[in-house]
Amino acid sequence: EIVMTQSPDTLSVSPGEGATLSCRATQSVSSNLAWYQQKRGQAPRLLIYAASTRATGIPARFSGSGSGTEFTLSISSLQSEDFAVYYCQQYNNWPALTFGGGTKVEIK
Amino acid sequence: QVQLVESGGGVVQTGGSLRLSCVTSGFSFSTYAMHWVRHAPGKGLEWVSYIWSEETDKFYADSVKGRFTISRDNSKNTLYLQMNSLRAEDTAVYYCVRSGSSRQLDYWGQGTLVSVSS
């Protein structure tokens, strides 16, 4: 099983500032990596797939990078609606998908 | 627009059974692979099961293998998850999820809560 590890667990950010979230895989997942945003009481929403491709309707302030085992989700100039939990997920080992433990982005 | 609506969750005793349904609309259901993903309280997301568009391939997480069965009825645009021998650790919100063209999980239902109590 490919284990996904996210860091940090919690990130405190002021509105308008940027944020960088990390995700590491225990073995290479190539670029088969997605990021999801989940707000309390809601279903996850796809943000990024193929490591760096924004999903339909996702604002340009969200960007993804990386390949192999190291990945990053960057959010520039956080808006109030961006405070949520973010999960990375690999789909290289299809269809046994695995998710990271999540990073909570909270208001500082 | 794409919609996925789960139902069938509830409270069940340990060892009991439940059948979840996911009615879909807004896309050609029969041409898409589908997943079930769950979210237990205080934990992260966990992939549960996958089914190919024509039901020829099915896969399960080790934690549910032998107890859960995924199926679909393409004539009714509906995905199912039969859950037997339920355990306390199966307590979670269960999401029906569409697999996109690049294997990303591109659309999620609102989820249905399954609570297993002793």
- Report the residue from B95, B104, B110 with minimal CB separation from A91: B104
- Residue B104: the pLDDT is 92
- A108: pLDDT confidence band, cut at 50, 70 and 90? confident
Per-residue pLDDT at B112: 97
| pLDDT for A11 | 96
Residue segments in chain B with a per-residue pLDDT below the cut of 50 = none
Residue with tokens 């956080």: A78
pLDDT for A31 beyond 90: yes
Partners of A86 in beta bridges: A37, A103
Instruction: Work out the average pLDDT over A79-105.
Output: 95
pLDDT, position A33:
97
Q: What percent of chain A has pLDDT over 70?
A: 100
pLDDT of residue B101: 86
Report pLDDT for B102.
86
Burial pattern A75-93, b for ≥16 Cβ within 10 A else e, equals beebeeebbbbbbbbbbbe
Give the sign of the dihedral formed by CA A36, CA A51, CA A102, CA B59: positive
Contacts with B96 from chain A: Cβ below 8 Å: none
CB atoms within 10 A of CB A68: 14
- Name the amino acid, one letter, at B37: V
**Minimum Cα–Cα distance from A3: chain B residue:** B46
Residue B47 with chain A: CB contacts under 8 Å:
95-99
B66/B6 Cα distance (integer angstroms): 22
Please answer whether residues A31 and A95 qualify as being in contact, where contact means their C-beta atoms are separated by less than 8 angstroms.
no
Are the beta carbons of B47 and A99 separated by less than 8 Å?
yes
Of B46, B103, B106, the CB nearest to A94: B103
- CA A57 vs. chain centroid, Å, equals 16
Is residue A26 within 8 Å of residue B97, measured between CB atoms?
A: no
How many Å apart are CA A80 and CA B32, to the nearest integer? 34
Structure tokens at B32: 């898409």
A72, A65 in Cβ contact below 8 A? yes
Give the mutation candidate from B2, B97, B103, B113 for the A interface (greatest A CB count, under 10 A). B103
Residue range A11-34: mean pLDDT, rounded: 96
Residues of B in contact with A100 (CB under 8 A): 44
The predicted model gives A83-105 an average pLDDT of: 95
Q: Residue B62's CB: how many other CB atoms inside 10 A?
A: 8
Other Cβ atoms less than 10 A from the Cβ of B80: the count is 19
Residue B88 phi, psi dihedral angles, 5° rounding: -55, -35
Name the burial class of residue B65, with classes exposed (0-12), middle (13-18) and buried (19+) by CB atoms within 10 angstroms of its CB: exposed
Side-chain-side CA neighbours of residue A88 (13 Å): 36
3-state secondary structure of B43: coil
Residues of chain A whose beta carbon is less than 8 angstroms from a beta carbon of chain B are: 32, 34, 36, 38, 42-46, 49-50, 53, 55, 87, 89, 91, 94-102
Q: Report the distance separating Cα A88 and Cα A21, nearest Å.
A: 10
Tens of pLDDT, residue by residue over A36-54, are 999 998 999 999 999 999 9
